[in-house]
Amino acid sequence: MRWSLPVACLLTLTACAGSPPVATEAPASSAPASAAAQPAAPQLDSGVILANFDRSVRPQDDFYRFVNGTWLEKTRIPADKSNYGSFGMLADEVEKNLKGIVEHAAAAPGPVGSDSQMIGDLYASYMDEASAESRGPAALRAELAAIDSIGDRAGLIAYFGRAQQRFVAGPPGIEPFGTAAPLLAFVMPDEKDPEVNSLHVYQFGLGMPDRDYYLNEEGRFAEVRGKYQDYARDLLAMSGRPDAAAAARRVVALEKRLAKAQWTNVELRDPVKAYNPMDLAAAAKLAPGFDWKAWLAAAGLPGATTMVVGQPSYIKGMAAAVREVPLATWKDYLRVHVTDDYAPLMGGKYAAAAFAFRETTLSGVEEMRPRWKRGIQQVEFVMGEMLGRLYVAEYFPPESKAQMQMLVSNLLTTFGESIDQLAWMGPETKQAAHDKLAKFTVKIGYPDKWQAKPDVAIQRDDLIGNVMRTREANRRIEFAKLGKPVDKSEWGMTPQTVNAYYSPLANEIVFPAAILQPPFFDAKADDAVNYGGIGAVIGHEVSHGFDDQGRQFDGNGVLRDWWKAEDDTKFREQTSVLDAQYSAFSPIPGMNLNGKLTMGENIGDISGLTVAHKAYRRSLAGTEAPVLDGFTGDQRFFIGWAQIWARKYREDELRKRLLTDPHSPSEYRVNGVVRNMPSFDRSFDVKPGDKLYLPPDDMVKIW
């Protein structure tokens, strides 16, 4: 199930299928790609990776394969990955850096309570496989005993509350985990008053990635449902449940009931519809029989008196299920989710079962990642920013931040000029857009102030205990923010994340240190590819402030309508054309893109690349760039964009993304974008009859 916060990312990370997001590429590999599969090192004078090109393809017909075709043909997806491309390759390099950091910390942990001690001992406890396997079942038995002791509906609701203390948001784009409950509590800035943190309650609790996995009757989804039921049976059997097969059938039926009540991913993208503040009396009326006070007290939020309910119709349906579904079925549901949560940590048959369903069935991954990589991932889940502080100290040069600041400044100025040039927008809305743009906050590299670290004891021989205690400590930090002023220095990503994001509630764009490396940003390369790479990434994130979601927030992060009605109508006309364009793309026979689900990211791509090209031309100050490697500066700019999206997917992973990912597959982030840009047509002499040609009147221009 997709848990959605109002943060728009450059891409979705799927490090480990079935694991969890922070407040949106692939896991590293145990089997490196073949030598032929590795993209050639860019020529430092141009930044163009010539060895990846397929010269048999005309750029006017398929620009994505013209730039990446040879790479796509020769590259195989490593056995422990669901997809592989430029982002994943850079993430592999970052992971190698992190390996050095955690291994050094494990060998010389430092004083108790220090970053190095906590990171080193947590990693050491993960690498002590024998201890994890011997102690894990006992920890699981204790949790299962708590479930067995539930004697009535009040006890069930209290357990749902206690489960909130183990929630893990994890890296962006990875499903949340650790909460065995059909609803989720989290604290974040209030959409109507983003200076203050409020309690939010969202739909949650499915064992498969999305409601459509339960409801779609297409053959592959039916097959996956059967395998999920088998997985639930195996988890119940391993937990000691008699008649596990019948119990698993009832659990899947319960989850299907919850899935029917859940909102679709498209509905979840509507921030107005998802903002439903209410006090406890109103919440009780919405969900008869659900004791909110008891739930909040068990969650560690006894002082909460109001909440923002994200999906009221789901909460109503969930409460009905709590009243009507037999208590024994709910307890089996909890057993499945708790065992599923701990299985990867316990190793042996538990980890094997989790891998078989979570990664092989859902994403087509062939091999489990090496243990050291899974250990680093676990450290990132619960101590990501602490690890980031050590990463930045060793691997982020200050000059990269200075150069990025110059690029961002140019992009913001150019975006403002683009607002003035919009023919479809009236002067009042343009002024409001300028006001919002002027209030953007830019964060580059790493936080100026590091978050408080969890106050928890880490022991080298107690992996599951370490994970449980650290999860709980992190949640105490989060819940303590309730009702307090928002700390705007906080980041929603770690510095070692190869990604970027825009937050409408903070009206900020954020570029972690790890993405400020080739192929996105190369200080030694020609400006054209840098503007087509990191420049377009900057433009993408700026554009999120004005996409179909971000445009509903003002410059102070307040959810309100600042648009004139006629401009709103014209905006929707443009987005309807974009919806139709992308919904016609079919990466898998019988499955098309969902243009409404991917709308915000498609706007970010088209508008971001358009503004980045204008900024590149602006940077030339009236001169013409030299021809390098046979390409003009404008051509190298577009090549810079295309080569960062080189990526291959396994079919099951791609199928999952078509249902859950707000980003279009990489091919369409190139071909679907450039066909809407007159500057691309001029650069590559695209004419009627070429496959990427769109008549000017059919092109979408939003920002």
The pTM of this model reads 0.92
Residues 6+ apart with CB under 8 A from 82: 14, 17, 26, 27, 359, 363, 364, 365, 649, 650, 652, 653
State the DSSP string of 38-78: SPPPPPTTT---GGG--TTS-TTT-HHHHHHHHHHHH----
User: Of the ranges 26-40, 228-242, 523-537, which one carries the lowest mean pLDDT score?
Assistant: 26-40
The mean per-residue pLDDT over the stretch 475-485 comes to 96
Reported as a single tens digit per residue, the pLDDT across 506-529 is 999 999 999 999 999 988 888 999
How far apart, in whole angstroms, are the C-alpha atoms of residue 667 and residue 53?
A: 15
Reported as a single tens digit per residue, the pLDDT across 321-375 is 999 999 999 999 999 999 999 999 998 999 999 999 999 999 999 999 999 999 9
Q: Which two tokens stand for residue 517?
A: 């490396």
Kind and range of the H or E element at 144? helix 129-148
* In the chain, % of residues over pLDDT 70: 94
Q: What pLDDT score was predicted for residue 3? A: 38
Q: What pLDDT score was predicted for residue 174? A: 66
Q: What pLDDT score was predicted for residue 400? A: 80
Q: What pLDDT score was predicted for residue 379? A: 96
Q: What pLDDT score was predicted for residue 173? A: 56
State the helix-helix crossing angle for 129-148 and 115-127, rounded to 10 degrees. Answer: 90
pLDDT of 4 higher than 90:
no
The mean per-residue pLDDT over the stretch 239-267 comes to 97
Reported as a single tens digit per residue, the pLDDT across 655-694 is 999 999 999 999 999 999 999 999 999 999 999 999 999 9
User: Of the ranges 110-114, 173-177, 370-374, 578-582, which one carries the lowest mean pLDDT score?
Assistant: 173-177
Residue, of 12 and 68, whose pLDDT is higher: 68
For 48, 68, 217, 528, 643, the CA distances from 40, given in Å and listed in that order, are: 10, 11, 44, 19, 12
Beta-sheet pairing, 197-203 with 306-309 = parallel
Say which residue the tokens 């650069």 belong to.
683
Q: What pLDDT score was predicted for residue 37? A: 43
For 6, 42, 59, 201, 699, the CA distances from 683, given in Å and listed in that order, are: 36, 22, 10, 49, 16
| Mean pLDDT for the chain overall | 92
* CB contact burial 552-591 (16+ within 10 A = b; e otherwise): bbbbebbbeebbbeebeebbeebbeebbebbeebebeeeb
How far apart, in whole angstroms, are the C-alpha atoms of residue 683 and residue 638?
A: 9
Residue, of 682 and 167, whose pLDDT is higher: 682
* Half-sphere exposure in the Cβ direction for 641 (13 Å, CA): 34
What does the H/E/C string look like for 527-583? HHHHHHHHHHHHHHHHHHCCCCCHHHECCCCCECCCCCHHHHHHHHHHHHHHHHHHH
pLDDT of 169 higher than 80:
no
Q: What pLDDT score was predicted for residue 171? A: 62
Reported as a single tens digit per residue, the pLDDT across 125-157 is 999 999 988 888 888 899 999 999 999 999 999
Per the CB < 8 A criterion, the answer to whether 445 and 495 are in contact is: yes
Residues 6+ apart with CB under 8 A from 130: none
For 50, 128, 238, 538, the CA distances from 639, given in Å and listed in that order, are: 10, 46, 52, 17
- The sheet carrying 306-309 orders its strands as 183-189, 197-203, 306-309, 277-279
pLDDT of 15 higher than 50:
no
Reported as a single tens digit per residue, the pLDDT across 409-423 is 999 999 999 999 999
Kind and range of the H or E element at 188? strand 183-189
Beta-sheet pairing, 501-503 with 441-445 = unpaired
Per the CB < 8 A criterion, the answer to whether 485 and 503 are in contact is: no
For 86, 416, 502, 541, 665, the CA distances from 11, given in Å and listed in that order, are: 12, 25, 12, 11, 10
Reported as a single tens digit per residue, the pLDDT across 293-321 is 999 999 999 999 999 999 999 999 999 99
- β partners of residue 649: 83
Angle at 639 between CA 77 and CA 633, to 5 degrees: 160
Residue 196: is it exposed, middle or buried by C-beta count within 10 angstroms (0-12/13-18/19+)?
middle
pLDDT of 541 higher than 60:
yes
pLDDT of 424 higher than 60:
yes
How far apart, in whole angstroms, are the C-alpha atoms of residue 179 and residue 327?
A: 18
- β partners of residue 309: 201
**Of 3.40.50.2300, 2.60.120.260, 3.40.605.10, 3.40.390.10, which CATH number belongs to 46-75+408-439+522-703?**
3.40.390.10
Per the CB < 8 A criterion, the answer to whether 647 and 86 are in contact is: yes
Report residue 240 CA to chain centroid gap: 35
Identify each DSSP E strand in 564-692 by its residue range: 647-649
Please count the other Cβ atoms lying within 10 Å of the Cβ belonging to residue 349. 12
Q: What pLDDT score was predicted for residue 18? A: 30
Please count the other Cβ atoms lying within 10 Å of the Cβ belonging to residue 106. 21
Can you count the helices (H) and strands (E) in the chain?
A: 26, 10
